[in-house]
């Protein structure tokens, strides 16, 4: 058999895989691989692929073997089989699909300008991990950063707590600020409302209007909290129109889409939906691993791939991922898989449970009581449904520590007062009724065992 250039073949395979999988998946599993040798077996080629760890090998074999074989057959033109080999593999710097675009070249940040605009230095596109749950939102954000006021105006990003909405919104502002300049304001809807209140109190409303209306880009975080505030909605409506009329860009984040924001004026709902509405879901395993590696690099923590994957298997929430990393850092020893296992095991033995997603909690309660998920979220108020629904709200509020508004949104768009009532009722029942306490305990154990 004629000797084949394994490096050239693997470069071709990597080029195909980089287009087929998310950037987070590629960086997590494929970047630390190489084609070691090719053996001929009849009419087939047996390709020996080196991986950096047993965990990476197992995940590649379980999830991506078919894609690897397909790319090998495309490049070689022959039927192929794959054998995995664990070895020390140096990561090769495969070119990013975004590399070469002028927008994403490294630029020197101006901290003073960023702070004046309300932007954080670490919220950039380069520090944002991309996976299946946020790919569309990331692509939309890039487009807005390249052509503010033209592509997707307004851009409305929504999703649950801690999924990266604020990071992505601020990354847009940072790119525009460093490359094109112009006045940019990034704030929460609460800050906007407070400024307006102060303006009315001090008779300086025009000053407030100048601050918000004469900008190139307005970035508003948690815009759902403006709903129900008549004066704030009136002012924001005119601010929105003034910015768009002058060719400026508006970007907003929320915990829910415009159609589900209660007490939001129809004219604002119409404006919000006139551009692009994108959602960000909870990160999958690959994305959680990539987020950990990025956070570790930012904090100058040496975090091996296997250790990051072990954490990502046990911890789901993005903010909890960072918390786990900080706790490991405080050990003041080299982080490896054994340390991660010991730390997570110790936390579980001390009563800490695997951090679940809201969807997993809803499913666990549904299965425990034998009540369908849609019934839990629906309007029926029979006792057999209301009580499980209230317990669900209690667990989402107390165990996942979700805001009242987020819990209400998850359970059929209910008002925060309903969530408060449910939480207080379950707490009171736990004090008076041992059976309720047992139910909560059993549910918590069920979720722990499921993890």
Say if residues 160 and 146 touch (Cβ distance below 8 Å).
no
Query: What are the start-end ranges of the E strands in 272-323?
Result: 276-280
Looking at the structure, give the CATH architecture of the domain made up of residues 107-280.
Answer: 3-Layer(aba) Sandwich (3.40)
The length of the chain, given as a count of residues: 451
b vs e for 55-77, b when ≥16 Cβ sit within 10 Å of the residue's Cβ?
bbbebbeeebeebbbbbbbebbe
Least confident of 23-27, 184-188, 423-427: 23-27
**Reported confidence tier of residue 108, pLDDT bands at 50, 70, 90:** low
Q: pLDDT of 337-395, one tens digit each?
A: 888 888 777 655 555 445 467 888 898 898 888 888 889 998 888 988 999 999 999 99
- Predicted confidence at residue 295, as pLDDT, reads 85
pTM as predicted: 0.58
Alpha-carbon dihedral angle through residues 252, 254, 259, 265, given to the nearest 10 degrees: -70
Confidence of residue 109 (pLDDT cuts 50, 70, 90): low
Could you give the percent of the chain with pLDDT greater than 70?
Answer: 90
**DSSP-assigned states of every residue in 7-37:** HHHHHHHHHHHHHHS-HHHIIIIITTEEEEE
Of 111, 112, 143, 110, the C-alpha closest to 125 is 143
* Cβ-contact 283, 131 below 8 angstroms: yes
Compute the distance between CA of residue 188 and CA of residue 210 in angstroms, rounded to an integer.
17
Across 66-80, 189-203, 243-257, 429-443, least confident range: 429-443
Q: In whole angstroms, what is the distance from residue 233 CA to residue 23 CA?
A: 39
Element (H, E) at 155: strand 155-159
Least-confidence region, from 11-25, 70-84, 101-115: 101-115
The residue with tokens 């898989």 is 337
CATH topology of domain 6-86: GMP Synthetase; Chain A, domain 3 (3.30.300)
- Domain assignments of the chain as residue spans, ordered by start: 6-86, 107-280, 285-338, 358-450
Measuring CA to CA, which residue among 256, 267, 182, 259 is closest to residue 219? 182
Architecture of domain 358-450: Orthogonal Bundle (1.10)
Question: What is the separation of C-alpha 305 from the centre of its chain, rounded to a whole number of angstroms?
Answer: 20
Q: Are 318 and 163 in contact (CB under 8 A)?
A: yes
Closest CA to 178 of 236, 113, 261: 113
pLDDT (tens digit, 9 = 90+) per residue, 239-250?
999 999 999 999
Helices vs. strands in the chain: H and E counts, helices first: 21, 8
């Amino acid at each position: 058999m004629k000797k084949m250039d394994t490096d050239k073949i693997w470069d071709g395979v990597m080029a195909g895989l980089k287009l087929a999988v998310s950037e987070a998946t590629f960086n997590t599993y494929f970047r630390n691989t190489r084609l070691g040798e090719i053996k001929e077996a009849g009419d087939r080629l047996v390709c020996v692929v080196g991986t950096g760890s047993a965990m990476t090998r197992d995940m590649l074999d379980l999830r991506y073997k078919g894609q690897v074989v397909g790319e090998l057959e495309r490049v070689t033109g022959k039927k192929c089989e794959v054998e995995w080999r664990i070895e020390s593999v140096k990561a090769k710097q495969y070119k990013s699909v975004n590399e070469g675009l002028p927008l994403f070249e490294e630029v020197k940040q101006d901290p003073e300008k960023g702070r004046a605009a309300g932007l954080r230095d670490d919220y950039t596109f380069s520090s944002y991990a991309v996976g299946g749950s946020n790919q569309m939102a990331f692509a939309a954000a890039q487009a807005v950063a390249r052509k503010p006021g033209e592509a997707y105006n307004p851009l409305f990003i929504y999703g649950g707590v801690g999924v990266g909405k604020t990071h992505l919104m601020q990354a847009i502002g940072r790119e525009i600020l460093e490359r094109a300049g112009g006045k940019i304001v990034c704030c929460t809807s609460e800050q906007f409302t407070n400024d307006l209140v102060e303006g009315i109190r001090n008779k300086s409303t025009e000053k407030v209007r100048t601050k918000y209306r004469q900008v190139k880009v307005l970035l508003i975080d948690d815009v759902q909290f403006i709903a129900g505030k008549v004066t704030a909605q009136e002012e924001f409506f005119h601010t929105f129109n003034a910015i768009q009329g002058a060719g400026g860009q508006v970007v907003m984040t929320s915990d829910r889409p415009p159609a589900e924001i209660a007490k939001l004026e129809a004219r604002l709902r119409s404006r919000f939906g006139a551009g692009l509405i994108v959602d960000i879901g909870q990160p999958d395993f690959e994305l959680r691993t990539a987020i950990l590696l990025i956070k570790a690099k930012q904090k100058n923590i040496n975090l091996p791939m296997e250790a990051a994957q072990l954490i990502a298997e046990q911890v789901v929430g993005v903010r909890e991922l960072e918390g786990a990393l900080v706790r490991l850092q405080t050990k003041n020893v080299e982080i490896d898989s054994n340390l991660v296992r010991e730390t997570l095991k110790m936390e579980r033995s001390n009563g800490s449970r695997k951090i679940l997603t809201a969807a997993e909690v809803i499913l666990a309660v549904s299965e425990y009581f034998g009540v369908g998920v849609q019934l839990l979220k629906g309007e029926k108020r029979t006792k057999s449904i209301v009580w499980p629904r209230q317990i669900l709200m209690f667990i989402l509020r107390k165990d996942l520590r979700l805001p009242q508004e987020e819990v209400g949104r998850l359970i059929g768009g209910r008002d925060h007062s309903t969530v408060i009532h449910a939480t207080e009722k379950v707490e009171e029942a736990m004090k008076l009724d041992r059976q309720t306490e047992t139910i909560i305990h059993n549910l918590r154990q069920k979720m722990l065992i499921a993890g």
